[in-house]
C-alpha cells in the first residue's frame, strides 16, 4: 500500500514542508518547499498564513498522513512559545482536513534516518540524499521537512 506523507518542519518565519510517497521499503520524492510569512506581518497574520498554506498543500498533494517535529524547549521560553504557535497552526490545518498527524522528537527523527539520535545535520542531509536522490532541498528547513517525512515512513509502517 502506498502512503503519501506530508512532513513539516515548523517555524514562524520558515516552515519547511515536503511530500513523499512510501510503499514498503520504497520511497519517492514528490515535492518540497518553504512557507515564508513576512516578518513585517503581525503574529496573527503569520500564523494565519501558515494555516492557509498548509491547508493548500494538503488540498494540492492529498497526503494520507502528516509528520511534524516536536519543538524542544529552548533556553528562551518566548522562542519556544512562538515556535509552538507556528506548529499549532500547521497541526490544526492538517487536522481540520481529517489527516492523521504524527509527532516526533528531533532525536527520534535523526535516529530513524542515521541510526544515531545525536547525529549532526550533515549526516541527516547525507541520508536524505541517499534515500531520495531526486530531492534537492534549497534550504535547511526544506531538508528538515524531507527528513521528518522520511523518518515517519521508517518508524510508522502499516501491516
**Reduced to 3 states, what is the DSSP secondary structure of residue 26?**
strand
Which one of the listed residues 9, 21, 142, 144 is annotated catalytic?
Answer: 9
How far apart (Å, rounded) are the C-alpha atoms in residues 30 and 63? 11
Q: What share of the chain is helix, strand, coil (3-state, %, to 5)?
A: 45, 20, 30
- DSSP β-bridge partners for residue 65: 5
Name every residue whose Cβ is closer than 8 Å to that of residue 119 and which is 6 or more positions away in sequence. Answer: 110, 111, 113
Is 69 catalytic? The answer is yes
Q: Quick one: cell of 62?
A: 492529498
Which one of the listed residues 21, 65, 125, 141 is annotated catalytic?
Answer: 141
Which one of the listed residues 21, 69, 125, 144 is annotated catalytic?
Answer: 69
Is 103 catalytic? The answer is no
Is 9 catalytic? The answer is yes
Q: Point out the residues that are catalytic.
A: 9, 69, 141
Amino acid at each position: 500500500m502506498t502512503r503519501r506523507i506530508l512532513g513539516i518542519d515548523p517555524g514562524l518565519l520558515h516552515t519547511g514542508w515536503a511530500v513523499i510517497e512510501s510503499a514498503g521499503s520504497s520511497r519517492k520524492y514528490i515535492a518540497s518547499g518553504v512557507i515564508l510569512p513576512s516578518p513585517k506581518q503581525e503574529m496573527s497574520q503569520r500564523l494565519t498564513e501558515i494555516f492557509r498554506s498548509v491547508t493548500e498543500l494538503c488540498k494540492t498533494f492529498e497526503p494520507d498522513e502528516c509528520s511534524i517535529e516536536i519543538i524542544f524547549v529552548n533556553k528562551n521560553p518566548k522562542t519556544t512559545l512562538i515556535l509552538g504557535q507556528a506548529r499549532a497552526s500547521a497541526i490544526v490545518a492538517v487536522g481540520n482536513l481529517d489527516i492523521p498527524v504524527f509527532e516526533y522528537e528531533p532525536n527520534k527523527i535523526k535516529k530513524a534516518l542515521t541510526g544515531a539520535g545525536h547525529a549532526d545535520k550533515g549526516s541527516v542531509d547525507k541520508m536524505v540524499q541517499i534515500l531520495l536522490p531526486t530531492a534537492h532541498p534549497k534550504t535547511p528547513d526544506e531538508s528538515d521537512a524531507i527528513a521528518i517525512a522520511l523518518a515517519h515512513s521508517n518508524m510508522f509502517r502499516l501491516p
